[in-house]
Structure 1
Amino acid sequence: MGDITRSWWLLLIRGLASLIFGILALIWPAITLLVLVIFFGAYALVGGVAELFAGFRHGAESRAWLIFSGIIGILAGIATFVWPGITSLALLYVVAFWAIFAGVSEILAGIKLRKAIDNEWMLIIGGILSLIFGILLLIWPGAGLLSLVWLVGIFAILHGIAMIALSFRVKNFTHGVGMP
């Protein structure tokens, strides 16, 4: 339990990165593909590093899923920087598969967290949103880059809010049981 509660700030960083990314994507809907790649790459990299770091700090029960999700996020971020001229369809598939893998990992981690802390549904909600988002992108790949920008922006804001809420819940739980 101490591993999870000591890492509340990683959830906060991840949530803030998601929220900032979402707002920037909505502010500039006519964004170029290169800028979208940079925004997504930075978001995926920060989220992946935070999850990987949390995975190494947590106990064995949630370690594997956090490390796996972190590695997927880091690889998605690196791929966007290595190939900046990626087409909108290729970017759509990168985002879709990353969101699906991250969503499944968050749902499973949330289920494990529910065993340790009551009512920890926020991580599961974030995972469900990620999973639905990824599936929707795969179902309608021809929606275009502008649609992707709006979908990504709305998803990132909702996901960021869920992660920020979870981080404060975990932080408050830490103080509630008298842990440092």
Structure 2
Amino acid sequence: MRRQLMWTLVVRSFAALMFGALALVWPEVTVAALALLFGAYALADGLTLLTSALRREGDAGHRTAHTAGGVLGIVVGVTAIAWPGVTALALAGLIGAWAVGSGAAEIWAAARFRHELHHEWMLFAAGGASVVAGVLVWARPDAGALGMTQVIGVYAMIAGLLTLAAAWRLHGTTAAVHRPRHTRQARPT
């Protein structure tokens, strides 16, 4: 179970880091290109979360949080990809809704993991960064593609790094749990 969660976090973090890097390196992106780029990211994140929820055993609350975040990511990702001619205002609403919704699901999942992980604060922080990014995009939809790209790009980099750090810490605890114990053998006298 821990290993599966670790890989879910790794895939999500790399998707976020790739999206964030592209968004920040390509600031003059058009609204149509931003819609496609964001749609691919939201779709990848949603598919990863939904796959994790369907394959995971155990806590129903955590699975529900991943299912909610996964379905939201898939719906928003497909909508953004299928609607590349979207206006900047509509795209701001779509990105803001996804960021707030997925951030809330991340916070919910982190709260459910309090008993299993000792570093869930990283997942809380990633969820919080998502909610803040969504609110910023909603607050200034008139900032256009450049403003949205910068906000969502910085958010994706922060969330990607926090999620990757959580995966790394989880890897350390998983390796310690699965490390075989070597018993000392008595020396012949």
- Given the two structures, how large is their TM-score scaled by the length of structure 1? 0.94
* Pair 1:66–1:179, CA change in 2 (3 A): farther
1:13-47 alpha-carbon deviations (Å, 9 max, x no partner): 11011001111111111112221111101100110
* 1:92 and 1:141 in contact (8 A); partners too: yes
Q: Give the CA deviation at 1:6.
A: 2.5
Q: Tell me what 1:93 maps to.
A: 93
Q: Give the CA deviation at 1:167.
A: 1.1
Q: Give the CA deviation at 1:94.
A: 0.4
* 2:10 and 2:163 in contact (8 A); partners too: yes
* 1:5 and 1:173 in contact (8 A); partners too: no
Q: Tell me what 1:75 maps to.
A: 75
Q: Tell me what 1:120 maps to.
A: 120
Q: Give the CA deviation at 1:118.
A: 1.6
Q: Tell me what 2:45 maps to.
A: 47
Q: Following the alignment from structure 2 to structure 1, what is the Cα–Cα distance between the partners of residues 47 and 131?
A: 20
Determine helix, strand or coil for the equivalent of 2:128.
helix
Runs (5+) with no aligned partner, structure 2: 181-189
Instruction: Decide which structure has greater helix share.
Output: 1
Whether 1:66 aligns to 2:66 is yes
**Which of 7, 10, 13 in structure 2 is aligned with 1:12?**
10
Q: Give the CA deviation at 1:152.
A: 1.1
**Aligned residue identity for 2:29:** I
Q: Following the alignment from structure 2 to structure 1, what is the Cα–Cα distance between the partners of residues 31 and 145?
A: 8
Runs (5+) with no aligned partner, structure 1: none
**Aligned residue identity for 1:68:** A
Q: Give the CA deviation at 1:7.
A: 2.6
Q: Following the alignment from structure 1 to structure 2, what is the Cα–Cα distance between the partners of residues 176 and 112?
A: 22
**Aligned residue identity for 1:37:** A
Q: Tell me what 2:140 maps to.
A: 140
Please identify the structure whose Cα radius of gyration is greater: 2
Please give the residue correspondences for 1:141-180 in structure 2 after superposition, counting only pairs within 5 Å.
141-178=141-178
Q: Give the CA deviation at 1:5.
A: 3.3
Q: Following the alignment from structure 1 to structure 2, what is the Cα–Cα distance between the partners of residues 40 and 168?
A: 26
Q: Give the CA deviation at 1:179.
A: 7.1
**Aligned residue identity for 1:143:** A
Determine helix, strand or coil for the equivalent of 1:144.
helix
* 2:15 and 2:45 in contact (8 A); partners too: yes
* Pair 1:119–1:7, CA change in 2 (3 A): closer
- Given the two structures, how large is their TM-score scaled by the length of structure 2? 0.90
Q: Give the CA deviation at 1:119.
A: 2.7
Q: Following the alignment from structure 1 to structure 2, what is the Cα–Cα distance between the partners of residues 21 and 134?
A: 16
Q: Give the CA deviation at 1:57.
A: 2.3
State the number of aligned residues.
178
In terms of mean alpha carbon deviation, does 117-126 or 98-107 score higher?
117-126
Q: Following the alignment from structure 1 to structure 2, what is the Cα–Cα distance between the partners of residues 140 and 157?
A: 20
